[in-house]
Structure 1
Amino acid sequence: MKNKTVIITGASSGIGKEIAKYFIERESNVVMNSSNEENLRRAYKEFGSPSNAIYLAGDISKQDTGQKLVALALEKFNSIDVLINNAGVFAPKPFLEVEEKDLDLYWSVNLKGTYFTSQAVIPQMIKQQNGSIINIGTVLVEHAIDGFPATAPLTSKGAIHSLTRQLAAEFGKSNIKINTIAPGIIRSPLQGKIGIENADSLAGLHLLNRIGEATDIAEAAYYLATSNFTTGETINIAGGHTVGHAI
């Protein structure tokens, strides 16, 4: 991935920030995006303002944000090799309490953000006859949990899983690989935002008896970015969350 260009959305904190750090350290050219410009600038400076990275704040649910990211990547680095659709929102809410505004939020940020940003990069990848798009889903799409009601965000994430397979079919002949990473419970600021004070208390949901670290997702993203024969797949990075239970 040295000198390859990677666009990462939601790169100012949590998993996205760790993915950006991982690729920057391996000499990829990284375009960082987040809707929060202050946090994005802070993350960039924390990385040491590297010459092989640049950032652009913007709401990825708006079509023009993806187009701006493409223009910046081509102007600065002359190619777009990988897109990592990491930006998203997620919070539990009982089904009977979900309002239209909740559905609109998740479908706009999670699905439309992934959809429009992918739509922006694919023409350049077709020109190159090469590329990789990595979406972020969740194991909860295929592994529902009673006690964690999250139908609103899960429907948007389920749509991303389906979008992955269809795009893989449509653009495989152009050598564009499209996959989804479905994380288990990962240590990130998200837990605090949804009211989980001690994320490690959920370790038992995973056969490895620990929660994941953001680095675990970054490693998976790096693998998919470099793989030449993996497409249309949803890869669970979940410590056994989906395959069995400890008793």
Structure 2
Amino acid sequence: MTVKSNTGGKTAIVTGASSGIGFAIARRLLGEGWNVVGNARTDARLVEAANRFGAGDRFTGVAGDVADPRTAQALVDQAVARFGTVDALVNNAGIFLPKPFIDFTPEEIEQQIATNVKGTIFASQAASRHMIGRGAGAIVNITASIALQPRSNVPAFMAVLLKGGLNAATRALALELAPHGVRVNAVAPGIIDSEMHSPESHGFLKTLQPTGRLGTVDEIADAVLYLVGAGFTSGVVLPVDGAASAGNFS
């Protein structure tokens, strides 16, 4: 039997919570008094993240592949068992693989579809069923700025296809769930200083941002924190990209 925590407060599920943007989002929510159920592929990564959070029993994890609907349901079940409810879902887990279109292998295509699309769908389905039942909730999808403004010098067909689809799906789901009190938004990050990019690449990557710098994981967490609390905001795709999606620039 699982004993519920006595910490109270709101509860969020964050996928891909053990590193990078997902870790920063979970850390920010914990810092604001939320309970967090995090997901990563392995228990070891979750244990390491929990130690870094230092949040005691306000953080718990569910290991597994988000493309597996059983993992998605386990996240919701764990949240309800430990904390009583799910107030927010942050679909952060994703794969970004920039390379020429003709070079994508079938395996790479399937992997990106599984994590970026199926992972978002299954987690959102499981969370939505719970949120509809209680008449409230917020879903935030982490997409990509490049899907709003593709670039000729950054070949990223799969990211544009999949994250662009999620941007459109965010608006569609916001309309569908609005009568049930559930809000759905997205954050579209630009190039962020995280483990995804080697320090050697930062010089070039900065030239792709009109502001001349990379974004930070905490700036993405700021946007997520705003959207989970913005009660009259739904169907929004919020670029956090230093104006990279505003149009062409030299």
- For Structure 1 versus Structure 2, the TM-score category normalised by the shorter chain is over 0.9
- 1:112 equivalent in alignment to 2:136: no
| Residues 199-223 of structure 1: per-residue CA shift (max 9 Å, x gap) | 2542232232211000000000000
CA distance in 2, matches of 1:19, 1:31: 12
2:61 corresponds to 1:58: no
Counterpart check, 1:169 vs 2:175: yes
Aligned to 1:99: 105
* 1:28 aligned residue (28, 31, 34): 34
Encode CA deviations 1:118-138: one digit per residue, 9 max, x unaligned.
000111101111100000111
Consecutive unaligned residues in structure 2, runs of 5 or more: 1-7
Q: TM-score, normalised by structure 1?
A: 0.94
Given that 1:206 and 1:245 are in contact with CA atoms closer than 8 Å, whether structure 2 keeps it comes out as no
- 1: CA distance, partners of 2:239 / 2:126: 26
Does structure 1 residue 205 correspond to structure 2 residue 208? yes
Deviation sequence 1:92-140 (CA, Å, 0-9, x none): 1211112222211111110000000000011110111110000011111
Alignment length (residue pairs): 243
Corresponding residue SS for 1:149: coil
Partner Cα separation in structure 2 for residue 26 and residue 180 of structure 1: 20
Structure 2 CA distance, aligned partners of 1:94 and 1:64?
34
Deviations 1:3-52 (A, max 9, x none): 11100000000000000110111110110111132222101111125221
Q: Which runs of 5+ in 1 are unaligned?
A: none
Structure 2 CA distance, aligned partners of 1:109 and 1:232? 22
Q: Distance in 2 between matches of 1:245 and 1:142?
A: 12
SS across alignment from 2:13: strand
| SS of 2:24 mapped into structure 1 | helix
Structure-2 residue corresponding to 1:81: 87
In structure 1, give the amino acid aligned to 2:33. E
Q: Measure the CA separation in 1 of the matches of 2:246 and 2:163.
A: 20
Question: Following the alignment from structure 1 to structure 2, what is the Cα–Cα distance between the partners of residues 209 and 245?
Answer: 14
The answer to whether the 8 Å contact 1:70/1:121 transfers is yes
How many angstroms apart in 2 are the aligned matches of 1:141 and 1:147? Answer: 14
Tell me the distance in 2 between the aligned counterparts of 1:180 and 1:25: 21
Q: Which amino acid aligns with 1:210?
A: R
Please report how far the alpha carbon of residue 147 of structure 1 lies from its aligned counterpart in structure 2 after TM superposition: 2.2
Q: Percent identity, please.
A: 35
Q: What amino acid does structure 1 have at the position aligned with 2:81?
A: E
Report the residue type matching 2:207 in the other structure. Answer: G
95-104 or 14-23, larger mean C-alpha shift:
95-104
Q: Provide the residue aligned with 2:232 in structure 1.
A: 229
Question: 1: CA distance between counterparts of 2:208 and 2:103?
Answer: 26
Alignment pair present for 1:129 and 2:132:
no
- Paired with 1:188 and 1:18, the residues of 2 have a C-alpha distance of 10
With normalisation by structure 2, the TM-score equals: 0.93
Q: Which residue of 178, 188, 192 maps to 1:186?
A: 192
Question: Given the alignment of the two structures, is residue 242 of structure 1 paired with residue 245 of structure 2, yes or no?
Answer: yes
RMSD over aligned Cα atoms = 1.5
